[in-house]
Amino acid sequence: MNKKIVLLFLILLVIIFVVGFFSIKYVKEKKASEMQGEYTPQEEISDEQFRETIVSLYFPDKETNLLKPEARLVNVKELIQAPYNVLVELLIQGPKSDKLKAIIPENTKLLNASLEGECLILDFSSELLNYSKDDSNVKDNLINSIVNTVTELNEVNKVKFLIDGNTNEEFDNEYIRK
């Protein structure tokens, strides 16, 4: 009688082991096959989204007056064709965030942008000189906003400003990133 109970117990143990083994194997295979299936995003990526990249534009904070970066999506084709013009035009348009403020004076236009070696020469209309001269910080922020933005591009290490095609005493230096 004792031998029958032990034998029955061993058979039951083997059955539990075999069933458990095959159950675990089945679950693993099912998970693996589910993972191999095609991934379907919740929203299809459009061609327009695919051709965009993020750039950093620098604007002064309304409260602290310190320059802060603002990320912006830009069409890659436009950026490749005229990177300096695109970045400066975005700065002229001003920030999207209501916590930042525009720094380039109204009606300022970028007349020309050209790279000579590692120095980017930006030729602005005379409206650039309409910044508030009461606060020396405004001129520094204006310069650093432009310089920090365009030096995000690897080929630009210095920036020189021209006003209506000429050197101007207010912007007569070559500026580097600060």
Indicate whether 138 belongs to any domain.
yes
**32-57 burial string, b = 16+ CB within 10 Å, else e?**
eeeeeeeeeeeeeeeeeeeebeebeb
**What is the number of domains present in the chain?**
1
| pTM attached to this predicted model | 0.71
Range of the domain at 71: 47-176
Indicate whether 80 belongs to any domain.
yes
Indicate whether 30 belongs to any domain.
no
Indicate whether 164 belongs to any domain.
yes
Indicate whether 15 belongs to any domain.
no
Indicate whether 21 belongs to any domain.
no
Indicate whether 38 belongs to any domain.
no
Mean pLDDT for 111-135 is: 92
Indicate whether 4 belongs to any domain.
no
pLDDT tens per residue, range 145-172: 999 999 999 999 999 999 999 999 988 8
